[in-house]
A and B are shown apart, each in its own frame.
Chain A
C-alpha cells in the first residue's frame, strides 16, 4: 500500500494542474497549471523505474552485485523535461506578446476569437 503513495501523489498533481487549467483565468497561471501536470507525469515516469534499494544506473561506477534503478524511465523523463522547457518557453513568449498588445493577462479580456 505504502509503495503506491508516489503514484497517488503524481495523479493528485495531474488533477491539480487540470483544475488550474479549467478554473484559472490568468494566462500565466494556466501555463503554471500545464507545468504542474507535466511535473506530475514526469514524477510518475521516474517512480515507475524505481527499484527498492537500487543505486544510480551508471554501469562503470556500480559494484558488481549492485541493484540499479531502471535507466529507461530516467532517459524518458529527461527527454520530456527538455520538451517541456521548449513548450513552456513558447507559451510564455505568447503570453508576453499578448500582454504587450492587450495590457492584460485576464483570459476573459484578451479574447478576440470566439465562435
Chain B
C-alpha cells in the first residue's frame, strides 16, 4: 500500500474512533493536544487498524505516538 493511501485510511479511522471530522485532521494532528485522547478511543483505533490493515499494534506503542503521522510510521513498520 502506498503511503498516501495508508495516510488517507488512517485519517478516516482516527476520525471514526475519536468522533471527529476527517477533513480537520492531518498527519501533524496531536493525539494529546488536538484529540484529547483517552485510552478507550485508542483501543477502538487499534482494533480498527487490526481489522482493516491487518497490523497488530501494542496499545502501549500506539499510545506513545504523539501525532497521527507517528502512528502511520508505526503501522508501516508492522505491515
**Are A and B physically bound partners?**
no
